[in-house]
Structure 1
């Protein structure tokens, strides 16, 4: 039989094979809803300790990876939907080209810092081919984050242009809500980015620790505002971000956002055809390979706002996790906004998740100003936010500049020597 869960946000029905209460598996939160069986039903319960002992922490399992999507997968999807192949560019286009202006002397690139002076303090996180640690500069006493990437792994995964692109674009960006690049280094086996430290953890983790994985309109407005201002700064320089999601938004010591991870960002004057990002956040024109511009970032803002208010992304394959189902939901516009979302937020989400790019909010003549002036943001002080004069919803409790309580434990690392062919692939 089915069951119904009734709470402050309304009533939700669950059928055989579905589940609820997963927020308690991520953090110490309690599901206060009243559960009622509609007919005979058997309900199974598992504790967080038992779940993690058998499977592992849910937060790690549910984190969504950024991927360069396979062209053949999208060709199959388009064929299934009866959509002709895209014209105008290759879906296998490289994410970026090296910026000729970015070639600098080692001294300039290192910003006066030396790799040998950086003392390892603690582990902060890891990605597909990068590892981030907390370090202290022995000469200045400054505390930073150091992102290290194995050269051989970068080459093996064909990510050289992405890695070079990330470094070059970060040098161009200077905004309070964008992670700042301090210096770059390399040695025989590794590439390094010295970054400002951001110790509050991911917005993804913060949401996971809230009841139901949701926040209030006011809190969602604050985080969405930070993101919009950061995107506005990028778009003013013709930079598309293309990988917006809670996992790529960090919270600093003051409670403000920092957008991180620029591996898929790109300077685009008109349109580009690369298929990249995180499936649940992809805009339909990106999935269909029709060429895209900054509108994909505004679409992603709509997905982000939805997720903050509802607890899951609007096109997710629930309860499964099939990326092609997600993409099919996106192109077929299977958007259902729960009643818990207020009228103003609902209107904004619909206008951001408009399949017609030219009609999408942010893509019209008014640009990002149309989003900032939407009635959901009525009375919002944008200048105060950018000057960091607004009170954040949450300020991470930190004991010191080296407090890593909001990060995962170190899973260990493996040495990977670089087979240098003498091509100078990482020079410049």
Structure 2
């Protein structure tokens, strides 16, 4: 990894501190940069106690069975409830970004039955991020990781704090990221089946984090990791926008156009609607149910020819930020122009993401950052002649890359509208984890690694 290059511009905004920084997040032969901004203040450990450590061992979530997860077994086998960096044995440096370096580690546990559990440890230099006024990003990422519980997002096992370092202990994905995996494909691009597989799991992940009132803002192949079973994990939440509102509003479930003779059952569902943060403004005021097909009536069913099952719509459409954050080739037009942005930026980045998986390039890349941003704002979307891409895929990309965020697919109806696009017609959303992945990484053998292959490890690890 090349060293980061930072160029900060401070300007106060209502919801966050607007700043611009560029840091290399290169993997492979494509150089892309990330713009970043701080949104919150961070509370740090007591620096006066030079040798003290504070750790937080998290409770197992319900995504997978913790009784069979070797990482949870290793965590539980600790002799004490505290954990420090000295308890970690570093095997390899996995990469580095704007906020720190990520290492492959295992716990120094004498029990051989649990010593094989591997973790990804994101280690952040506190003094460095304080000097760059990036404490809020660390706090935001930690708060988000602590509430996530989904098959396609990271599991945070523990947090470790010392006066100089902060560490997030997460699950390790041996398959690397989609950026590297794409470059290993023929012509450095994926086929239709692979694109549909990865895009559908990303949509499911975005739907989940949007329901939590979080705008991701940094979707790109480098941030989509491949687990040992071939399924994906969306990672790196330090640029995400998190809604902190505590009051509630009504979520929306839409099944089709509400008929004139709507059943009283509709009102029952509306009265019992789940309560969600008020930043997640519903697209419709209450549940709308339509369970019968009538003559000459066409309920919205995503083109399947039958009435759809109830679908929840809970998008943080009222969240607004003026920050300039993300990877420059993936920035949405409203972000580049400084008009303020919300959840629609994630659907724009999904369009760029799918385009890159198909074609091996992004659609608006210019000779430099300024040229790229100009293309994003004013240049029309064009598709290369090669390779041949299905019309449904081009239609989906075109609707996701509408420059007006209010007209963009997903901006109001969220993942519901995206999931019912024709490109995903064959996807069984309820059984995504049962779908066979296009690529399963080979078994990972930590015995092949050594500390000599892992430079720049903080001294506290030894």
TM-score norm. by structure 1 comes to 0.70
- Counterpart Cα distance in 2 of 1:161 and 1:245: 22
Q: Determine the structure 2 residue equivalent to 1:114.
A: 83
Contact 2:405/2:411 (<8 A) preserved: yes
Task: Report the counterpart of residue 307 of structure 1 in structure 2.
Answer: 356
- In the alignment, the residues of structure 1 paired with residue 459 and residue 356 of structure 2 have an alpha-carbon distance, to the nearest angstrom, of 38
Is 1:65 paired with 2:33? yes
- Provide, for residues 27-61 of structure 1, a one-character-per-residue CA deviation record: whole Å limited to 9, x for no partner: xxxxxxxxxxxxxxxxxxxxxxxxxxxxxxx9545
Kept in 2, the 8 Å contact 1:189–1:416? The answer is no
Alignment equivalent of 2:419, drawn from 372, 376, 388: 372
> Equivalent residue for 2:339?
290
Offset of residue 186 of structure 1: 1.6
- Of 105, 113, 131 in structure 2, the residue corresponding to residue 135 of structure 1 is 105
Deviations 1:74-111 (A, max 9, x none): xxxxxxxxxxxxxxxxxxx7423559xxxxx9454566
CA separation in 2, counterparts of 1:98 and 1:153? 13
Residue 356 in 1 paired to residue 404 in 2? yes
Aligned to 2:371: 325
Q: 1:304 to 1:118 in 2, by over 3 A?
A: same
Q: Partner of 2:93: helix, strand, or coil? A: strand
Aligned-partner SS, 1:144: strand
Query: Within 1, Cα distance between the matches of 2:448 and 2:401?
Result: 39
Gaps of 5+ in 1: 1-57, 69-92, 100-104, 418-428
Is 1:124 the equivalent of 2:94?
yes
- Which residue of the partner structure matches residue 420 of structure 1? none
**Residues 23-422 of structure 1: pairs in structure 2 closer than 5 A:** 59-68=27-36, 94-97=38-41, 106=54, 108-109=56-57, 112=81, 114-115=83-84, 116-139=86-109, 140-141=114-115, 142-268=117-243, 269=279, 270=318, 271-317=320-366, 320=367, 322-339=368-385, 340-364=388-412, 366-385=413-432, 388-400=433-445, 410=453, 412-413=455-456
Q: Any idea what the Cα deviations from partners look like across 1:141-179, whole Å, max 9, x if unmatched? A: 232111111112212222111111111111111111111
Taking structure 2 as the reference length, the TM-score comes to 0.65
Shift of 1:63: 3.6
For 1:402 and 1:378, the matched residues in 2 are separated by 44
Separation of aligned partners in 1, 2:449 and 2:95: 10
Partner SS, residue 66 of structure 1: strand
Unaligned runs of 5+ in 2: 1-25, 44-52, 60-80, 244-278, 280-317
User: Cα distance 1:415–1:376, how it changes in 2: closer, same or farther (>3 A)?
Assistant: closer
Aligned equivalents of 2:225, 2:417: Cα separation in 1: 26
Change (3 A) 1:399 1:166: closer
> In 2 relative to 1, CA 309–60 (structure 1 residues): closer, same or farther, beyond 3 Å?
closer
User: What residue in structure 1 maps to residue 75 of structure 2?
Assistant: none
Matched positions, count: 323
Q: Distance in 2 between matches of 1:410 and 1:128?
A: 22
Shift of 1:354: 0.6
Contact 2:88-2:105 within 8 A present in 1 as well: yes
Question: Matched residue of 1:305: which SS?
Answer: helix
